[in-house]
Amino acid sequence: MEKKAIQRLFKQHYAKMYRVARTILYDEQESEDVVSDIFESLLRRQIVLTADTEECYLLTSVRNMCLKRLRHSSASLEGNGYIEPIDDSDIEDERLTDIDEFVARHLTEQEQRIFRLRFTEGCSYKEIAAAEGISRVAVWKHLSHALNLIRNHFN
């Protein structure tokens, strides 16, 4: 993809992508790295993105990359010395699909909305609070509850 096209995508979507990464990784530098890596890959690959789906594509990339990082850091913390194979894309995608299915089945409608606004659409807590008519702290508590359910189920 050409640099000019990357520049437009970067300026248009960076903030949301960064926000999603922060929600998953917390770490500022790691979040910046994830987003940069995605744009770097776009520069180096021949990718056809369409205007109507580019945001979804980029935010999904962030979620995938963050999950991958978390999984790798978890593996290294266990200290088992196991180096995972490079092409583990199927695992990440299956995991995302499993999480989506879990969300649809086990979260309340409000939790589902909040979860999607944050992770799929990259909205800020302030924006979600306004959309739901509740406080930011309440949004955080709903999201924490949802994430704890997901974590307990998949761990």
Partner 1 sequence: MQTTDKKMFLDMQEHPEKYSDQQIEAMLDELDRVPDVESAWQKFSAEQEESTESTQNHIHTSHRWLKVAASFIGVLLVTGLAYAAFRILSPAKEQQRTEVSTLNSQRSSLNYSPDGFVLFADIRLDSMLAIVSRHYSKTVSFSNEELKGLRIHTKWNQEDSLAAFIGNLNELDELQLTELRDTIFVQKGGVQ
Q: Which residues bind partner 1 (CB under 8 A)?
A: 2-3, 7, 10-11, 14-15, 18-19, 22-23, 26-29, 32, 35-54, 56-57, 60-61, 64-65, 68, 86-90, 92-93, 124-126, 136-137, 140-141, 144, 147-148, 151
| Of 90 and 109, CB closest to partner 1 | 90
Least distance in angstroms from the C-beta of 49 to partner 1 = 5
- Min dist CB 150 to partner 1, Å, is 11
For residues 52 and 147, what is the distance between their CA atoms, to the nearest angstrom?
29
Alpha carbons 128 and 135: distance in angstroms, whole number = 9
Residue placing its CB nearer to partner 1 in the complex, 57 or 102: 57
Sorted by sequence, the CB contacts under 8 Å of residue 106 that are 6+ apart come out as 149, 153
Chain centroid offset of residue 1 CA? 22
Q: How far is the CB of 58 from partner 1 (least distance, A)?
A: 9
CB of 109 to partner 1, least distance (A): 21
d(CA 95, CA 68) in angstroms, rounded, equals 10
Nearer to partner 1, 11 or 105 (CB): 11
The CA distance from 82 to 58, in Å, is 30
User: Residue 87: which residues within 8 A CB-CB, separation 6 or more?
Assistant: none
User: Which CB atom, from 113 or from 136, has the smaller least distance to partner 1?
Assistant: 136
